[in-house]
């Protein structure tokens, strides 16, 4: 384990088919006024909205509606939500939905009483909140982002063509999250697989960095193996509870800070994918899927040992009689096969990106270090081209 670090994750998780019942345990801890955050209305069709409202009412809560959170929540929507929260002095933000709703609720929690414009403060200047923070709770309906147990919050500004994430501290993490794997079963298959790839890529971003021996890398491999195994069951039978429950649990642990402790990390696939998302508004997980393989194939020569380990440990590939690079490449080939079996989109061209966008997407790509190679702008363009 490298360096000095801390770990503190105060989010309480309730998991299982009856997890929603535990909302009754959490609600009495907060005041009466609840801002109910949700998306495009699918929770109204599948009955989750009614169940949540019933529990809120039976706990004597006053509900302030904040629906219509879009898949890539915008800075404009954030300003509206913050106004609802402040005008009504709400006591709890309850996000019912996927990562977008949860990300958005966290952004609202630190924006309601913020004297500045929240987009400028948190997503342009990356400042920390210095105002009252409204507590957030989450009823998760999609597995993928890990937002239910971390401080991450991604907001999109369409005018500026920017999609940026701020990772807030443990005071902004959800106080509780309710994880019922059955709630994720109503999703279309394409949303399920996008979520699965989001999980897998979160793990990759923390794994493909550094060359030390680190317990976190063993944990990362475990989560990758579990999600790959369960995804191949779920793709054929989305109603398989065991598979869906393992996928939901790996999503949470893939991005709640555990597997990055004591190690360096890379986040370039997210930087590339988010820039594609800002231009195309495509589903987050699909943008990651489309840029991953060109990126990893490009950086592989700079981190052969780790890519070889990935091939052996995650994909069970034998290194016998092969060069390290051959073994490493076979690992990425196995990953590609798996991605194809899930039906993931492997080209940004299929997500609406066109050649004339590439320079703009490259401009919108934050270049980070931490990976095996710091990209030049030209290399960013080449990676995007390879995915077109």
Residue with Cβ nearer a second copy (24 or 354): 24
- N- to C-terminal Cα separation, the chain: 38
Residue with Cβ nearer a second copy (54 or 212): 212
DSSP classification of residue 159: T
Residue 320 lies near a second copy (rule: CB under 8 A): no
Among 229, 297, 341, 347, binds a second copy (CB under 8 A): 229
Among 201, 214, 231, 327, binds a second copy (CB under 8 A): 214
Shortest Å distance, C-beta 177 to a second copy: 10
Residue with Cβ nearer a second copy (121 or 308): 308
Instruction: Considering only the stretches 63-71, 156-164, 198-206, 207-215, report the one whose residues sit in contact with a second copy under the rule CB under 8 A.
Output: 207-215
Residue 226 lies near a second copy (rule: CB under 8 A): yes
Residue 260 lies near a second copy (rule: CB under 8 A): no
Residue 249 lies near a second copy (rule: CB under 8 A): yes
Tell me if residue 249 falls in helix, strand or coil.
Answer: helix
Calpha distance 136→35 (Å, rounded): 10
Shortest Å distance, C-beta 168 to a second copy: 16
8 A C-beta contact, residue 66 and residue 36? yes
**Alpha carbon of 239 to those of 184, 225, 244: distances in Å?**
9, 20, 8
Residue 22 lies near a second copy (rule: CB under 8 A): yes
8 A C-beta contact, residue 74 and residue 154? no
Residue 215 lies near a second copy (rule: CB under 8 A): yes
Residue 338 lies near a second copy (rule: CB under 8 A): no
Residue 303: both structure tokens together: 């981190």
Calpha distance 348→335 (Å, rounded): 18
Residue 387 lies near a second copy (rule: CB under 8 A): no
DSSP for 321-386, please give it. Answer: TS-HHHHHHHHHHHHHHHHHHTT----GGGGT--GGGHHHHHHH-----SSSSPPPHHHHHHHHHH
Place of tokens 């004339």: 356
Residue with Cβ nearer a second copy (163 or 244): 244
Q: What is the dihedral of CA 36, 39, 45, 49, to 10 degrees?
A: -10
Residue 319 lies near a second copy (rule: CB under 8 A): no
Binding mask 112-131 for a second copy (x = CB under 8 A): --------------------
Contacts to a second copy by CB under 8 A: 1, 3-19, 22, 181, 212-215, 218-219, 221-223, 225-226, 229-230, 242-243, 245-246, 248-250, 253, 258, 261-262
């Amino acid at each position: 384990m490298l360096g000095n670090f801390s770990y503190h994750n105060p989010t309480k998780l309730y998991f299982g088919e009856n997890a929603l019942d535990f909302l009754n345990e959490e609600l009495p801890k907060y005041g009466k006024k609840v801002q109910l955050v949700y998306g495009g209305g699918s929770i109204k069709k599948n009955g989750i909205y009614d169940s949540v409202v019933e529990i809120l009412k039976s706990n004597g809560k006053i509900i302030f509606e904040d629906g219509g959170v879009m898949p890539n929540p915008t800075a404009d929507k954030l300003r509206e939500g913050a106004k609802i929260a402040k005008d009504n002095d709400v006591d709890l933000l309850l996000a019912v939905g996927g990562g977008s709703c949860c990300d958005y609720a966290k952004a609202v929690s630190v924006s309601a009483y913020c004297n500045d414009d929240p987009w400028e403060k948190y997503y342009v200047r990356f400042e920390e909140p210095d105002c009252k923070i409204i507590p957030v709770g989450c009823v998760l309906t999609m597995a993928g982002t890990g937002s239910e147990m971390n401080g991450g919050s991604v907001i999109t500004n369409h005018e500026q063509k920017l999609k940026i994430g701020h990772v807030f501290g443990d005071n902004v993490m959800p106080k509780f999250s309710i994880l019922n794997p059955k709630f994720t079963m109503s999703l279309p298959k394409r949303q399920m697989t996008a979520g699965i790839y989001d999980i897998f890529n979160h793990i990759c971003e923390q794994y493909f960095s550094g060359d030390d021996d680190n317990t976190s890398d063993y944990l990362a491999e475990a989560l990758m193996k579990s999600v790959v195994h369960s995804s191949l069951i779920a793709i054929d039978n989305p109603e398989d509870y065991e598979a869906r429950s393992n996928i939901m649990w790996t999503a949470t642990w893939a991005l709640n800070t555990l597997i990055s402790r004591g190690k360096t990390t890379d986040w370039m696939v997210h930087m590339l994918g988010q820039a594609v998302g800002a231009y195309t508004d495509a589903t987050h997980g699909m943008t990651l899927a489309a840029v991953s393989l060109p990126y990893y194939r490009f950086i592989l020569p700079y981190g052969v040992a780790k890519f070889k380990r990935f091939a052996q440990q995650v994909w069970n590939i034998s290194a016998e009689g092969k060069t390290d690079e051959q073994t490493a490449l076979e690992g990425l080939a196995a990953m590609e096969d798996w991605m194809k079996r899930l039906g993931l989109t492997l080209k940004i061209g299929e997500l609406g990106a066109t050649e004339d966008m590439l320079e703009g997407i490259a401009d919108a790509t934050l270049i980070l270090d931490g990976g095996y190679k710091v990209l030049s702008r030209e290399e960013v363009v080449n990676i995007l081209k390879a995915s077109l």
